[in-house]
């Protein structure tokens, strides 16, 4: 792809109360601008969606997914939707059915999670990755993502949707395990390792430090680097270090790269829906209040460009503190992205872009083009309004 990739953006604002200025109207416009419908005729199109699970309902609205699917079908494409098996089995409870969506819904690696393509990677204990076989069976990719926070990756959007959602359970857990590859517990430094370990466990307000059968573990996916554990670590037996956190980000770039390798640049499309932005991933299986205002819908043919644009547009949005779980710290450092303010500085969501660029996933330098922009409020060019006094009935 030559030059700066274009990221099309449709905001939640509207110029007029007309269909073309609604979010769905802007989604239609973005799909047209991307040129997706010109390429799908006769092609099998994999639509990757995170359908959520359990009692969660803040995942992508089925109407949005169905809108994309039906436009592909109307243009002569053969779409099918995929996600991981344990989420597909209860997708019906959130409205994801072939009747509503308009296409078949399959587990990406088959119902037994055993239909996959392997690649040797040898990265921090992750020897082999297993990509769902349906990824290789498709001619085209539509990566349709719900934007939200993520306790391990900082945030989830286009990259995360492929990096984890296109792989077997074994590989997904392998990605998480890369965080524990670099040594961080040094019992040889302690006079009494067990006593020190117990102090560390008690010092963690999040319960992410575990000590069982002589082994200390840090669950890095839940750690926000508050460093309270270090206040009781007089002998420096525990290292809380960037390398453990960043391993997951690099592993995500590796798995995303393998998915993208199966599609020509002109055969992959990315759509991010930034609304109902919660603190955790949809895989947690429940919905909390939104932590950021709704932003809108973005579309691009470059995965780095779309995720970078999404982060940039959210960067200065106000964090809705009352909707952040009371069990989490809120870091008020103004240099941090809102997602990093709750998940920690070493889970900076821009790390996905940094490692994505390292592995050649795309170009983070983009041109933003707004579709059907709301413009200025009409009354700005008029004399001041003279409204009646409030009724004050109660």
Label residue 54 by pLDDT band (50, 70, 90): confident
Determine the distance from the C-alpha atom of residue 100 to the mean position of all C-alpha atoms in its chain, rounded to a whole number. 24
Q: Does 174 map to a domain?
A: no
Q: Does 261 map to a domain?
A: yes
Angle between helices 169-177 and 242-260 (to 10 degrees): 150
Which domain-ending residue is among 200, 216, 240?
240
Q: Does 335 map to a domain?
A: yes
- Tell me, what's the pLDDT at 11? 97
Angle between helices 303-314 and 350-358 (to 10 degrees): 160
Residue 1 has pLDDT above 70, yes or no: no
Average pLDDT, the chain: 96
What b-and-e string marks burial along 315-337, b requiring 16 or more CB atoms within 10 Å of the CB?
eebebeeeebeeebbebeeeebb
Torsion (CA) 53, 317, 315, 310 in degrees, nearest 10: 50
pLDDT in tens, 345-354: 999 999 999 9
Q: Does 175 map to a domain?
A: no
Which range is most confident: 91-105, 292-306, 377-391? Answer: 292-306
Collapsing DSSP to helix, strand or coil, 289 comes out as: coil
- Percentage of residues of the chain with pLDDT beyond 90: 92
Q: Does 389 map to a domain?
A: no
Number of domains in the chain: 2
Contact 146, 294 (CB under 8 A): no
Distances (CA, A) of 119 to 36, 128, 256, 259: 29, 5, 12, 11
CATH number of the domain at 226, please: 3.30.70.20
CA dist., res. 249 & res. 160, Å (int): 9
- Tell me, what's the pLDDT at 389? 96
Please, which residues have CB within 8 angstroms of residue 208's CB and are 6 or more apart in sequence?
Answer: 218, 219, 220, 222, 223
pLDDT in tens, 290-343: 999 999 999 999 999 999 999 999 999 999 999 999 989 999 999 999 999 999
What b-and-e string marks burial along 125-156, b requiring 16 or more CB atoms within 10 Å of the CB?
ebeebbbbebbeebbbbbbbbbbbbbbbbbbb
Residue 2 has pLDDT above 80, yes or no: no
- Tell me, what's the pLDDT at 295? 98
The arrangement of strands across the sheet holding 78-83 comes to 105-107, 78-83, 44-48, 140-146, 268-274, 296-300, 6-11, 367-370
CATH number of the domain at 120, please: 3.40.50
Q: Does 376 map to a domain?
A: no
Distances (CA, A) of 173 to 29, 53, 248, 384: 38, 18, 11, 60
Report the relative pairing of strands 6-11 and 44-48 from DSSP bridges: unpaired
Mean pLDDT of 106-114: 97
Range of the domain at 197: 183-240
pTM above 0.75, yes or no: yes
- Tell me, what's the pLDDT at 378? 85
- The CB density around residue 168, as the number of other CB atoms within 10 Å, is 25
- Tell me, what's the pLDDT at 282? 84
Same domain, 210 and 348: no
Q: List the beta bridge partners of residue 48.
A: 82, 143
Mean pLDDT of 72-79: 98
């Amino acid at each position: 792809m030559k030059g700066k990739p274009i990221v099309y953006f449709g905001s939640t604002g509207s110029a007029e109360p007309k269909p073309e200025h609604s979010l769905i109207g802007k989604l239609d416009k973005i799909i047209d601008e991307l040129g997706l419908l010109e390429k799908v005729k006769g092609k099998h199109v994999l639509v990757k969606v995170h359908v959520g699970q359990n009692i969660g309902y803040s995942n992508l609205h089925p109407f949005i997914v169905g809108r994309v699917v039906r436009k592909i079908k109307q243009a002569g494409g053969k779409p099918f939707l995929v996600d991981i098996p344990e989420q597909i089995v209860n997708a019906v409870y959130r409205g994801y059915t072939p009747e509503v969506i308009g296409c078949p819904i399959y587990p990406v690696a088959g119902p037994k999670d055993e239909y996959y393509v392997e690649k040797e990677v040898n990265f921090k204990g992750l020897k082999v990755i297993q990509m769902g076989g349906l990824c290789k069976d498709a001619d085209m990719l539509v990566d349709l993502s719900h934007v939200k926070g993520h306790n391990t990756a900082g945030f989830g959007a286009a990259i995360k949707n492929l990096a984890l959602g296109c792989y077997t359970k074994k590989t997904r857990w392998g990605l998480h395990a890369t965080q524990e590859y670099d040594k961080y517990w040094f019992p040889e430094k302690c006079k009494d390792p067990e006593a020190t370990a117990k102090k560390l466990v008690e010092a963690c307000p999040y319960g992410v430090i575990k000590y069982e059968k002589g082994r200390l573990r840090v669950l890095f996916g839940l750690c926000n680097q508050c460093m309270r554990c270090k206040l009781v670590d007089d002998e420096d037996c525990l290292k809380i270090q960037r390398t453990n956190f960043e391993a997951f980000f690099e592993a995500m770039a590796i798995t995303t790269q393998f998915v993208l390798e199966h599609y020509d640049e002109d055969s992959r499309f990315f759509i991010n829906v930034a609304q109902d932005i919660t603190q955790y991933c949809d895989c947690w299986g429940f919905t909390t209040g939104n932590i950021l205002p709704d932003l809108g819908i973005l579309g691009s043919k470059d995965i780095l460009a779309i995720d970078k644009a999404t982060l940039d547009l959210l960067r200065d949005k106000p964090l809705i503190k009352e909707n952040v779980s009371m069990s989490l710290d809120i870091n008020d450092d103004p240099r941090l992205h809102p997602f990093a303010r709750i998940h920690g500085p070493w889970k900076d969501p821009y790390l996905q872009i940094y490692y994505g660029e390292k592995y050649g996933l795309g170009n983070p330098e983009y041109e933003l083009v707004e579709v059907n922009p709301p413009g200025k409020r009409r009354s700005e060019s008029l004399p001041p309004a003279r409204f009646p006094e409030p009724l004050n009935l109660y």
